[in-house]
Structure 1
Amino acid sequence: MIGDFDFYVGTWDVANRRLTKRLAGSDDWEEFPAVSVARSFFAGAGNFDEITFPTMGFSGATVRLFDPATELWSLYWTSSVTPLALRDPPVVGRFVDGVGEFFADDTFDGVPITVRFRWSDISATTAHWEQAFSVDRGSTWETNWIMDSTRREAD
């Protein structure tokens, strides 16, 4: 629905956990902080956030667009490492019962994968996001990046 991502408008401290090696059977996680600033546009049919990873030396941005004809969101990602490339294809999906799931077919290191973004545990002050890859069209998933966001108090 229009406004699904309005919960994320504002400034957030983000605790990240990311696998150091993806699709390699690794259980070695790195942890690092971030700050995300999000805004809504098009009366809630669009959402943008910029996230800065101060200890990692890069930043990223997500553009989220709602299609009222399909009632699906398309999420596009880019980073300062690949500044001219939006994540192509976008992950596409919707929220059901407070959980948003978004999928795309893609490749990772030349391997065909399905990508899943999941938003859950959403409250006025917290939100949980994770990214997972599947090499078997969604039968099994490897969660490889987790972000737990905590809203900053307004100044």
Structure 2
Amino acid sequence: METAFEFMQITDADILRCATYMFRDDARVWWNGAKAALNLTTLTWNGFKDVLYDKYFTVSTRTRLAREFLEIRQGNMSIAEYVKKFERGIYFVPMISGDPAEELKHFTEGLNAFIRKDVRLSGAKNFKDAVDQAMLSEKDRNDIIRES
């Protein structure tokens, strides 16, 4: 959803209306009560996520998710699986998600050694470049394995 919102260049107020429209059951009940205590005219998307995470992700859960993210390694995962897990976990570690250089560093350090080498040799400047290069490297390696 965030990618679509970013592409559409809509305001935080519109983003909040779109996101909360999707709430069902308990989330709808919670939001009806929570919005009464919030100033919706000044609430940002990040502020909303903080409120939502406080409700649905306890401190211990957020700590566990942050720890899992800090220890993430590609292992036997494909690049697509690793990227998905990486992107889900980064929300819980603001010291990395707020710094593009740290994000790139953490991503590349978690890659398998042979792919990490290719990504570093490519001179990837940001997370997107690193993902693109890692995908290419994985494809090349899979092609070599199939051919042999």
> With structure 1 as the length reference, what TM-score do the two structures score?
0.23
Higher relative contact order (CA 8 A, sep 6+): 1
- Structure with more strand by fraction: 1
When Rg is computed on C-alpha atoms for both structures, the one with the higher figure is 2
- Structure with more helix by fraction: 2
